[in-house]
Amino acid sequence: MKIHKEGRRILFFTLLALLAANLLLFRYNAENDGFNKVFAGISVIVFLTLLQFFRSPARRLFTHEDLLIAPADGKVVVIEDVHEPEYFDDVRKQISIFMSPINVHITRNPISGIVRYFKYHPGNYLVAWHPKSSTKNERTTVVVESEAGPFVLFRQIAGAMARRIVWYVNEGDEVSQGEEFGFIKFGSRVDIFVPVDTEVKVQIGEKVKGGQTIIAQLKTTAPTLF
């Protein structure tokens, strides 16, 4: 198990702060041994919690040009046809994956292709399941022209706990399915928008793994596994 690069600085300074606080307590508050031990235990829990937030497990990635792979770990919370106003301005099928604090927070390219659009939106920090979080929260929007043909839009959305979104793609970049395109610190949600005739392979409530779980199949004349 590796630690993701986005967490190394936070973990380093958190560890220093906790060690300093505990050393000061044991030196200047020695008469309250019980309190010091409780604080030490809480410090360990806090650090281990942060450590699991930033874990980066090894993944055996699944790739295929017309299959959409989960861009993040989490639970499928939305599958519906909606109007997508930012880029397509028409009806698209939306698939949303909610990332809890205990999920891996890496976000991955669901499809290979060329980035035709990218935009970062500053915003609020509503809870990720709030209906307006997709348009009101801090977020990024990425549109990829897939190798199979159809355009796929995916969006990182910050939630009540997440306070920073990181991305590694820009317009014109060539991206590969399963590779990291960003990181949402402390979790939240990812929305994917595909053509309405896309065949969804998951159900509401299903748990998925980023880079591994097949969530949909694009309509194309290209050969397919299914």
Which residues are catalytic, by number? Answer: 188
**How far from the centroid of its chain's Cα atoms is residue 146's Cα?**
20
Secondary structure in 3-state letters for 152-221: EEEEEEECCCCCCEEECCCCCCEECCCCEEEEECCCEEEEEEECCCCEECCCCCCEECCCCCEEEECCCC
Q: Look up residue 178 and give its two tokens.
A: 């399963």
Q: In the sheet that 67-69 helps form, which strands lie side by side, from edge to edge?
A: 67-69, 214-217, 199-200
Angle CA 135–171–89, to nearest 5: 40
Q: Around Cβ 46, how many Cβ atoms within 10 Å?
A: 13
Cα–Cα distance, 194 to 88 (Å, whole number): 10
Cα–Cα distance, 126 to 132 (Å, whole number): 8
Residue located via tokens 């600085």:
9
